[in-house]
A = this chain, B = another copy of it.
Amino acid sequence: MSRGILIVLSGFSGAGKGTLMKELMKTYDNYALSISMTTRAPRQGEQDGREYFFSTREKFEEKIAQNGLIEYAEYCGNYYGTPRDYVETKLNAGMDVILEIEIQGMRKVKKMFPDMLSLFVTPPDAAELARRLRGRGTETEESVMKRLNTAVLEAEGVEDYEYIVVNDDLKRCVEEIHGIVRAAKRKPVRNEEFINSIRAGLKVLAKGE
């Protein structure tokens, strides 16, 4: 069983990350979505261990002190972070684990997991992003403008990602993400055992049998 790949997925709000992840998980069985830990209160219908691991500030800070989080941030007075044990367990079971986090988180994770894969999801153009945000019907115009302004800042960091993926068509985009992950499995660093075995075999044969 070879270890899975840690995949960081970021993208503009409204790029369709959630739908993409759902479709990816439905289509292939090698992916696991990382579950974040948070100190914010559960919302209606949210379940501990499904949407989030809900935690007190005390316990969260204990986790930080124990180096039990791969990355964390404070946002609107609440902590959000990625528990290391969940990720490690899945990776060791051969699953490819997806973290849906933002660029600051991506940079932190990269330091700890240099072999991780990073993808940035974008709609085909800016107008389409605005259409999707407004089309949700749940956002005020003020909130749409705020998200667009955030997108301007996020767009500055796109080159820090290994891959940029355009979400124009759900199925096509899911195939593209899966293709990128498959390619990543062919990196020498993920095939050390195979390389060593070829090397050993060649040495034996080259000496003459």
Which A positions have Cβ atoms within 8 angstroms of B? 120, 122, 125-127, 129-130, 145, 148-149, 151-152, 155-156, 158-159, 161-166, 176, 179-180, 182-184, 186-189, 191, 194-195, 197-206, 208
When all copies of this chain in the complex are counted, the total is 2
Q: Do B148 and A163 touch (CB < 8 A)? A: no
CA distance A156 to B198 in the complex (A): 10
For residue A156, which residue of chain B has the nearest CB? B199
Q: Do A208 and B155 touch (CB < 8 A)? A: no
**11 A-B contacts, Cβ less than 8 Å apart?**
A126-B201, A148-B202, A148-B205, A151-B202, A155-B198, A155-B202, A164-B188, A166-B194, A176-B186, A180-B186, A183-B184
Q: Do A186 and B165 touch (CB < 8 A)? A: yes
Chain B residues near A199 (CB-CB < 8 A): 152, 155-156
Q: Do B191 and A152 touch (CB < 8 A)? A: no
For residue A191, which residue of chain B has the nearest CB? B164
CA distance A127 to B191 in the complex (A): 18
Q: Do A126 and B179 touch (CB < 8 A)? A: no
Q: Specify which of B159, B184, B201, B208 is in contact with A127 (CB 8 Å cutoff).
A: B201
Q: Specify which of B125, B152, B195, B202 is in contact with A152 (CB 8 Å cutoff).
A: B202
